[in-house]
Structure 1
Amino acid sequence: MTQRDIALINAKYVASAVREDQYPEAKLPEIAFIGRSNVGKSSLINSLCNQRGLAKVSGAPGKTRTINYFFGELRLREGDKSTRRPLYLVDLPGYGFAKTGGKNRDLWSRFVGDYIQKSPRLALLCLLIDLRHPGLPIDREAYAWLCEVGVSLQIVGTKSDKLNQSEKQRNMAAVDKFFPAVYPVIASSSLKQNGRAKLLERLYDAIAEPVVDTEIGV
């Protein structure tokens, strides 16, 4: 199949939230990203939007403690025609960071869980798995819960550039075994841009044609 010419344009930060009443009001489809702390969620969002500093990247695992919304438009070019689909990219806090415990960890679990279960516009959830470490118990627990909730899933194997070809093939097979999904896992490298075009196609297909909210201001 010929690869389509899809780009994510006009990306910008919109809001951060920990409660439902803080979610953006514009009625746009949402693509969310979740994974273990330091798996590369912010880097992947920056890569998809082709903006290095859009989502903040930190060397300190677990620094993202809020649900962060970014507006963007998926543009498909076909000959001299183009189609745009506006959406939100939603950066969810990484799970498993050590510095949050007790009540703070319970709060994190609750507001992230509430978003995943209650957001009416969540079209797709990308579960990021570090390809260097497939099958970690914490990732498998997250996957099992997400399957129980029934959210539409896309598995993304990150940091694929850290592996040679044989390691990549072996670990991709492990991801397929531990995290079976309707759509095949996409191997990604934010540094090398590997898998970017394939993931953009997946995001484009995941969202239906929305009614554009005229108050969005872009």
Structure 2
Amino acid sequence: MIIKKADLLITAAKKEQYPDTEVPEIAFAGKSNVGKSSMINALVNRKKLARTSGQPGKTQTINFYNINDTLNLVDLPGYGYAKVSKNEREKWGVMIETYLYNRNQLKEVVLLVDIRHEPSVNDKQMYTWIKNCNFTGYVIATKADKLSRSQQMKNLSVIKKSLYISNDNLLYPFSSETKAGVENVWNLFENILGIEE
């Protein structure tokens, strides 16, 4: 996709704060620090559209990014960060659930996992939840630049097994650093939404 325009529309904590847009949405779920914000920046070829942080648990709202006025990319709060209070974690859970169950514009939820590690219990729960909400079950394995090609293949196979992914077309390696996978991910999103470039 040729990016002509990419804007942060709004950061929302409640349903009434969601943007009043009709364009289709693709949301990203994943644990804290898995690289959701970095991936959005890489996809739109901007360094600081989505705020990244070395500190896990930074995204505590649902962030809506409008691309070319044709779709919104939605960054959901990261889960599984131990230093956040139980109360905060529960609030995030409700926030994510409200969005997943009430947003008609939402066309797909994509799970991000770190390619270097086997998916955690939280990842598996999130993936099951995504599938139970009748989404396809696409997974993007981030930080691919941290591994050699052969190690990537090995780890992708572990991820597939761990999440019971039977279809190779559901799993995409990605690197925000080298931009490897950007084109494949955009092709995927265009196919999901039926966008013709």
TM over 0.5: yes
Please say if residues 153 and 181 of structure 1, whose CA atoms lie closer than 8 Å, have aligned partners that are also in contact.
no
Please say if residues 11 and 62 of structure 2, whose CA atoms lie closer than 8 Å, have aligned partners that are also in contact.
yes
Please say if residues 26 and 72 of structure 2, whose CA atoms lie closer than 8 Å, have aligned partners that are also in contact.
yes
Q: Which moved more, 1:33-42 or 1:152-161?
A: 152-161
1:12 counterpart residue number: 7
1:43 counterpart residue number: 38
Aligned-partner Cα distance in 2 for 1:135–1:113? 21
Q: 5+ residue gaps in structure 2?
A: none
Structure 1 counterpart SS, 2:3: strand
**What's the offset of the Cα at 1:153?**
2.9
Q: Does 1:195 align with 2:158?
A: no
Structure 1 counterpart SS, 2:153: helix
TM-score scaled by structure 2?
0.92
Q: 1:49 to 1:69 in 2, by over 3 A?
A: same
Tell me which of 122, 126, 131 is aligned to 2:115: 131
**What's the offset of the Cα at 1:110?**
0.4
Aligned-partner Cα distance in 1 for 2:2–2:176? 15
Q: Does 1:55 align with 2:34?
A: no
RMSD over aligned CA atoms reads 1.5
Deviations 1:153-211 (A, max 9, x none): 320000011011221110111122223165331100000000000000011111146xx
Deviations 1:37-73 (A, max 9, x none): 1000000000000011000000100011000011102
Q: 5+ residue gaps in structure 1?
A: 1-5, 74-84, 210-218
Q: 1:99 to 1:166 in 2, by over 3 A?
A: same
1:107 counterpart residue number: 91
Query: 1:29 is aligned with what amino acid?
Result: P
Aligned residues: 193
1:206 counterpart residue number: 192
1:81 counterpart residue number: none
Structure 1 counterpart SS, 2:70: strand
Aligned-partner Cα distance in 1 for 2:96–2:61? 9
TM-score scaled by structure 1?
0.84
Aligned-partner Cα distance in 1 for 2:157–2:86? 36
2:103 counterpart residue number: 119
Rg bigger for which structure? 1
More helix by share: 2
**What's the offset of the Cα at 1:32?**
0.8
Structure 2 counterpart SS, 1:21: helix
2:59 counterpart residue number: 64
Q: Does 1:155 align with 2:132?
A: no
**What's the offset of the Cα at 1:7?**
2.5
Q: Which moved more, 1:192-201 or 1:127-136?
A: 127-136
Tell me which of 116, 120, 129 is aligned to 1:145: 129
Please say if residues 43 and 182 of structure 2, whose CA atoms lie closer than 8 Å, have aligned partners that are also in contact.
yes
Query: 2:170 is aligned with what amino acid?
Result: P
**What's the offset of the Cα at 1:117?**
1.9
Aligned-partner Cα distance in 1 for 2:27–2:166? 16
Aligned-partner Cα distance in 2 for 1:154–1:66? 22
